[in-house]
Chains A and B, each alone.
Chain A
Amino acid sequence: MREKEISADSSNKLWNFFASVRLTVIILLSLATTSVIGTIIPQNESPAAYFRQYGEFFYRLFNALDIFDMYHSWWFQFLLLLLTLNIVVCSINRLSSTWKIVFTKNPPFNLSKFKNLPDKEEFTDNRSPEQLKKIYESFFSKSFGHRRIEDTEKGFRIFAEKGRWTRLGVYFVHLSIILMIIGGLLGSIFGFEGLVNIPENEVVSSIMLRKTGEIQKLDFGIRLESFNLSFYDSGAPKEYRSTLSIIENGEAVLKQDVIVNDPLRYKGINIFQSSYGTLPPPKITLTFKNRETGKEFEKNAGLGEEFDIPDGGGRFLLKDFKGSFNFMGHNMGMTFIGTLTPVSGDAVDVFLPVQFPNFDRMRKGALSVSVADFKHRYYTGLQVTKDPGVFIVYVGFLVMIIGCFITFFMSHQRICVEVTRSQDRSKVMVAGTANKNKMGMHMKTRKISQGLIGI
């Protein structure tokens, strides 16, 4: 018996702990403070980079505390869990009393409370209470949902109220937080986020996950039909456009352009324009020019291929291709790199920028090499995501906006008008209260009282 009491007592304590607004303040301030860390220490970089930056000791310390991925760390998630518990318990705690206020048939009116208000309005009207009763009744029926009229010894009294339901607004705000947390959780459990590069005219049907680097298979293929980019006159990029086809069972079922801010969505998978690059074609044409004789020879070659230069010029290895190549501080654009081994003498590396065919002449070798015919291909970099939680998060967004609006700008307003006969005229008192924004209610009461004088 005693034990049961103790456990009931301690579970009660636990309940009250989670129901307290003090805990809310502590959690929210902790979230605010700790969130700063991840904006100062860059997140999710390579261990080597961190090691260089912070040294061994701090690297180990930060690593142990999950600082390098702090927003997904156990302790940050724990704070979010506490917040969730706090909201749920607090809401359950208060909902029943709010519910009673909101869904009562006969809202109570406390006359003395109105009479004691410091800022009530008073005036006299030349008409009798009987005349005023009808007029006031219709006045309040227009804008106040609930009204009650009582006859008094020397006149009458109207209680009117509206916006009882707005007391629920704050529960919507809190519900929205829960919805966002649930949606976020769903997304992180059942969703993924990955990248894929697709060269023009090729099809891929798997992507690489960003977090783990694992390969994720898709239920369909994506083909890049073409990639286009355009620039402003200033040289700043204007648009990246990938024309994609969705391939199912070897057939294109959907063709659509994807640009930044306008993704393709198919079967719950979203495909976003993310980056691009250039690839060399399978074969390119190289020109070799003999400095002395002025003779030119052409040769087709693929990347990595080594061949004899025509006319006994030695051997040539087409080693590498760079989408952009930096030569002594100048960006040369797309550039091939090769190794030229003359019949006699040492091998040299030669650089063949596609845009500058005369570049290799500056080397002043016996042979100068250039790229004659070159049609590069683009590849597009796509971000591919799946997030089944987005819908719930978006509902949360909407509920939060609506809830905040109700909570901040609407209130449960109660008005009391008392009319008493004094000789053949009427003395009128108007007083109003609201559960929020007392100052606004004061102004509203004055407005209503002026309205009553006018009719």
Chain B
Amino acid sequence: MNSSNLLSIVTFVYGLAALLYIAHWLFKRPLPGKLATWTAIIGALGNTAGIILRWVESYRLGVGHAPLSNMYESLIFFSWTIIIVYLFIERRYKNRIIGAFATPFAFLAMAYASLSPNINDRIQPLIPALKSNWLIAHVITCFLGYAGFAVAFGINFMYLLKARDAEQKSRWLDHFPDTDVLDELTYQVIMFGFLFLSIGIITGAVWANSAWGSYWSWDPKETWSLITWFIYATLLHARLMRGWHGKRIAYLSILGFMAVLFTYFGVNLLPGLHSYATN
């Protein structure tokens, strides 16, 4: 079995995990929740194995490099970071309903990588510009940041659902954590995301400086990551202002996640240095 096949299977495992988490939420039974956790763990192990296998395969092809060099590989790694960040939160906060709003992102990223005709899953040799150890540090930290923001977005969505239902009428929401808890949790995960986005931007800048001699050149991808960073910095400060709690912060968080998605996918539509990510 090669890594692409293995990772296609992982796609379905993640899909199953997401369904089980949703079943756990809708049917309010612990069993699907427990199964979901185990399925997600198995998926994460398969995902890890797939990444390692792909790494080994690239060495067999004689073009050995860490599997973090194109859109396919970054999506696979993105799924991995989402699941890891989510499982960490599940363990820490002992709530599985969040899984219904977080693991679908891992499934979607994986499905997009495996199924989209625009995405090439061949292992390609590294072009000279990508031959740098900073590439690895840059991609890992950026995607940890993105994963944090994706999970924060899911929790934030739960917050908005719960906050709309102020009289607590909805049967679907009664096992949700309280709005306060959801709000605080979103904030915690956003701080995690912000730290790693900052490190991601910084390692990218250091890399750019070692590759072509300027740490910042306002290319669209750089600029969009900075825009994302500005939005989340706004969010962190808006919480300090009177009257800026709850929903307004939640909308900022949604705006931030839209910027993440645009930084990741949308920028390829614009011209710039980072356009290698298109294949």
B227 touches A261 (CB 8 A): no
Answer whether residue A6 sits at the interface, using C-beta atoms and an 8 A cutoff.
no
A261 touches B224 (CB 8 A): no
Assembly CA distance A274 to B259 (angstroms): 31
Answer whether residue A136 sits at the interface, using C-beta atoms and an 8 A cutoff.
no
Answer whether residue A263 sits at the interface, using C-beta atoms and an 8 A cutoff.
yes
Interface hit among B22-30, B35-43, B77-85, B205-213: B205-213
A28 touches B233 (CB 8 A): yes
Which residues, 378 to 392 on A, are CB-close (under 8 Å) to B?
383-385, 387, 390
A408-429 toward B: CB 8 Å interface, digit per residue (1/0)?
A: 1100000000000000000000
B211 touches A22 (CB 8 A): no
A32 touches B213 (CB 8 A): no
A400 touches B240 (CB 8 A): no
Assembly CA distance A167 to B201 (angstroms): 25
Answer whether residue A143 sits at the interface, using C-beta atoms and an 8 A cutoff.
no
Assembly CA distance A228 to B47 (angstroms): 40
Which residues, 247 to 296 on A, are CB-close (under 8 Å) to B?
259-263, 270, 272-274
Name which residue of chain A comes closest to B191, CB basis.
A408
Give the chain A neighbours of B31 by CB distance below 8 A: none
A238 touches B238 (CB 8 A): no
Give the chain B neighbours of A409 by CB distance below 8 A: 191, 195
Assembly CA distance A89 to B195 (angstroms): 24
Answer whether residue B192 sits at the interface, using C-beta atoms and an 8 A cutoff.
yes
B234 touches A25 (CB 8 A): yes
B218 touches A43 (CB 8 A): yes
A383 touches B127 (CB 8 A): no
Give the chain B neighbours of A42 by CB distance below 8 A: 271
Given contacts A261-B211, A387-B214, A439-B184, contact A28 B240 (CB under 8 A): no
B211 touches A32 (CB 8 A): no
Answer whether residue A437 sits at the interface, using C-beta atoms and an 8 A cutoff.
yes
Assembly CA distance A437 to B125 (angstroms): 45
Per the CB 8 Å criterion, the residue count for chain B at the interface is 49
Interface hit among B102-110, B128-136, B151-159, B160-168: B128-136
Answer whether residue A236 sits at the interface, using C-beta atoms and an 8 A cutoff.
yes
B227 touches A263 (CB 8 A): no
Give the chain A neighbours of B128 by CB distance below 8 A: 237-240, 259-261, 273
A405 touches B195 (CB 8 A): yes
B270 touches A28 (CB 8 A): no
Give the chain A neighbours of B237 by CB distance below 8 A: 21, 24-25, 28
Given contacts A25-B241, A38-B223, contact A437 B234 (CB under 8 A): no
Answer whether residue B202 sits at the interface, using C-beta atoms and an 8 A cutoff.
yes
Given contacts A31-B230, A39-B223, contact A272 B191 (CB under 8 A): no
Answer whether residue B267 sits at the interface, using C-beta atoms and an 8 A cutoff.
yes
Name which residue of chain A comes closest to B188, CB basis.
A437
Give the chain B neighbours of A39 by CB distance below 8 A: 220, 223-224, 267, 270, 272
Contact of B185 among A22, A40, A387, A439 (CB under 8 A): A439
Given contacts A38-B223, A40-B270, contact A439 B125 (CB under 8 A): no
Answer whether residue B124 sits at the interface, using C-beta atoms and an 8 A cutoff.
yes
Answer whether residue B58 sits at the interface, using C-beta atoms and an 8 A cutoff.
no
Answer whether residue B194 sits at the interface, using C-beta atoms and an 8 A cutoff.
yes
Answer whether residue B115 sits at the interface, using C-beta atoms and an 8 A cutoff.
no
Which residues, 33 to 78 on B, are CB-close (under 8 Å) to A?
63
Measured as residues with beta carbon below 8 angstroms from the partner, the interface class of chain A is 35 or more
A-B CB contacts (within 8 Å), total count: 119
Give the chain A neighbours of B199 by CB distance below 8 A: 401
Name which residue of chain B comes closest to A20, CB basis.
B241
Chain B binding surface, main DSSP class: helix
Answer whether residue A397 sits at the interface, using C-beta atoms and an 8 A cutoff.
yes
A86, chain B: closest CB distance, angstroms: 10
Assembly CA distance A400 to B203 (angstroms): 12
Contact of A400 among B63, B191, B198 (CB under 8 A): B198
Assembly CA distance A38 to B184 (angstroms): 35
Answer whether residue A35 sits at the interface, using C-beta atoms and an 8 A cutoff.
yes
Assembly CA distance A298 to B271 (angstroms): 49
Answer whether residue B215 sits at the interface, using C-beta atoms and an 8 A cutoff.
yes
Answer whether residue A60 sits at the interface, using C-beta atoms and an 8 A cutoff.
no
Given contacts A232-B63, A439-B181, A439-B188, contact A261 B230 (CB under 8 A): no
Answer whether residue B231 sits at the interface, using C-beta atoms and an 8 A cutoff.
yes
Assembly CA distance A42 to B230 (angstroms): 21
Assembly CA distance A36 to B230 (angstroms): 12
B104, chain A: closest CB distance, angstroms: 25
A193 touches B214 (CB 8 A): yes
A396, chain B: closest CB distance, angstroms: 9
A29 touches B234 (CB 8 A): yes
B230 touches A29 (CB 8 A): yes
Give the chain B neighbours of A437 by CB distance below 8 A: 184, 188
Which residues, 219 to 249 on A, are CB-close (under 8 Å) to B?
232, 234, 236-240
B218 touches A397 (CB 8 A): no
B194 touches A408 (CB 8 A): yes
Assembly CA distance A274 to B214 (angstroms): 12
Contact of A21 among B129, B211, B240 (CB under 8 A): B240
Name which residue of chain B comes closest to A241, CB basis.
B128
A408, chain B: closest CB distance, angstroms: 4
Give the chain A neighbours of B207 by CB distance below 8 A: 261
B214 touches A261 (CB 8 A): no
Name which residue of chain B comes closest to A262, CB basis.
B210
Assembly CA distance A398 to B142 (angstroms): 17
Name which residue of chain A comes closest to B229, CB basis.
A32
Assembly CA distance A259 to B185 (angstroms): 46
A2, chain B: closest CB distance, angstroms: 33
Answer whether residue A13 sits at the interface, using C-beta atoms and an 8 A cutoff.
no
B202 touches A397 (CB 8 A): yes
Assembly CA distance A393 to B216 (angstroms): 11
Given contacts A405-B195, A408-B194, contact A237 B181 (CB under 8 A): no
Assembly CA distance A438 to B195 (angstroms): 19
Which residues of B line the A interface, CB within 8 A? 63, 124-125, 127-129, 131-132, 181, 184-185, 188, 191-192, 194-195, 198-199, 202, 205-207, 209-216, 218, 220, 223-224, 226-227, 230-231, 233-234, 237-238, 240-241, 259, 267, 270-272
The 7 closest A-B pairs by CB, nearest first: A32-B230, A260-B128, A385-B213, A408-B191, A39-B220, A261-B132, A28-B234
List 13 A-B residue pairs with CB atoms under 8 Å apart, sorted by A's residue number.
Answer: A25-B238, A35-B223, A39-B223, A39-B272, A40-B270, A193-B214, A237-B128, A239-B131, A260-B129, A384-B213, A397-B202, A397-B205, A404-B194
